[in-house]
Structure 1
Amino acid sequence: MSDEEQQNDEGFMPRELTVRIDEVVWSNPKASSSPPTVGATMLRHAGGWTVHDGERTPWVDPDRPMLQPGHSYLEAVFKETRGPDGTEIPPSWKGLGEGSKLPYDDGVIGNGETEGRAVAPAKYRTIEDEPGPATLEEQLAGKSATALATALDAAAPGTSSP
């Protein structure tokens, strides 16, 4: 929490985790850098606690995994080498967007932990369901990372996924 939040005993305390890369599922063959190394670790933020009068209350991102030990996840990442102002920064792997992390227990997309609770692929599809065409995430719930890699290989810039 910020100094001011600590003084007021009120604010938000982010949760910071170190995650290990167990497998690289897919990498763009035209990428300018190599994919992350299996066994390497990355720093991630997921949820945290709201603090009011010194009492901590867990907070999780709606419709997003909390990243709990014992669960597996898929994450779409990119290598960031420049800061928001364009200056060069030490390279680090960043999530591709707000929905870049997917539950992946037992090698099944959409199976595992979301919002701190266990979900099955069928339930995960309904959590993620937004009006409009099904997203790749929704289409692949219940399938393997191999199906994801196949879909990414088949995708062309500026087109919808298969």
Structure 2
Amino acid sequence: MSEEEQLSGEGFMPRELTVRVEKVIWSNPRASSEPPAAGSTLLRHAGGWTVHDGERTPWVDPDRPMLDPGHTYLEAVFWQTEGADGTEVPPGWKGLGEGSKLPYDDEVIGKGETEGVTVGPAAYRTMEDAPGQATLEEQMAGKTADELATALNTAESATSSP
């Protein structure tokens, strides 16, 4: 919390975690950098606490996992060295947008912790369900990382027409 928030006893305390890379399931063959190595660690932020009158209350990011110990997750990452505006940022592995982290307990996509609750693939798919074509995230619920890697290997690049 900021010094001002600490003095007032009101504010938000972010949750910072160190997560371990167990293995890389897929990497774009045209990537300009090597993927993070198995055994390496990444710094992540997930949820936190709101503070009122000095009392902490857990806060969960909507539609995102809390990254709770004892659970396994898949995360789509990219190597970032500059911000969207072109300014230099500290280089590091960043999550590839919303939905970049998926519950993956027992090697099943969509099984595990998300939004602070433990779910199975069917419930996860329902939580993620939005009108329109199913996202890759929704299509992969109930499948394995190997099946996701196969889908990524056979995916076609989206191109824009003039």
Q: TM-score, normalised by structure 1?
A: 0.94
Name structure 2 gaps, 5 residues minimum.
Answer: none
Aligned to 1:81: 81
Deviations 1:92-128 (A, max 9, x none): 1000002100000010000000111110000000000
Residue type of the alignment partner of 1:36: P
Q: Identity over aligned residues, as a percent?
A: 75
Aligned equivalents of 1:63, 1:89: Cα separation in 2: 26
Q: Which moved more, 1:146-155 or 1:89-98?
A: 89-98
After TM superposition, give the deviation of residue 158 of structure 1 in Å.
1.0
Residue type of the alignment partner of 1:147: E
Aligned equivalents of 2:110, 2:130: Cα separation in 1: 16
Aligned to 2:61: 61
SS state at 1:5 partner: helix
Aligned to 2:40: 40
Alignment of 1:44-123 (within 5 A): 44-123=44-123
Aligned to 2:145: 145
Name structure 1 gaps, 5 residues minimum.
Answer: none
Residue type of the alignment partner of 2:63: D
Aligned pairs, how many?
159
SS state at 1:18 partner: strand
Deviations 1:8-67 (A, max 9, x none): 110110000000000101000000011110000000000000001101000001121100
Aligned equivalents of 1:116, 1:83: Cα separation in 2: 30
Q: CA RMSD in A?
A: 1.2
Aligned equivalents of 1:150, 1:123: Cα separation in 2: 24
- Residues 9, 82 of structure 1: alpha-carbon distance in 2 compared, 3 angstrom cutoff: same
After TM superposition, give the deviation of residue 85 of structure 1 in Å.
4.5
Q: TM-score, normalised by structure 2?
A: 0.94
After TM superposition, give the deviation of residue 86 of structure 1 in Å.
2.6
Aligned equivalents of 1:76, 1:83: Cα separation in 2: 18
4+ long deviations beyond 4 Å: none
After TM superposition, give the deviation of residue 139 of structure 1 in Å.
0.5
Aligned equivalents of 1:88, 1:39: Cα separation in 2: 27
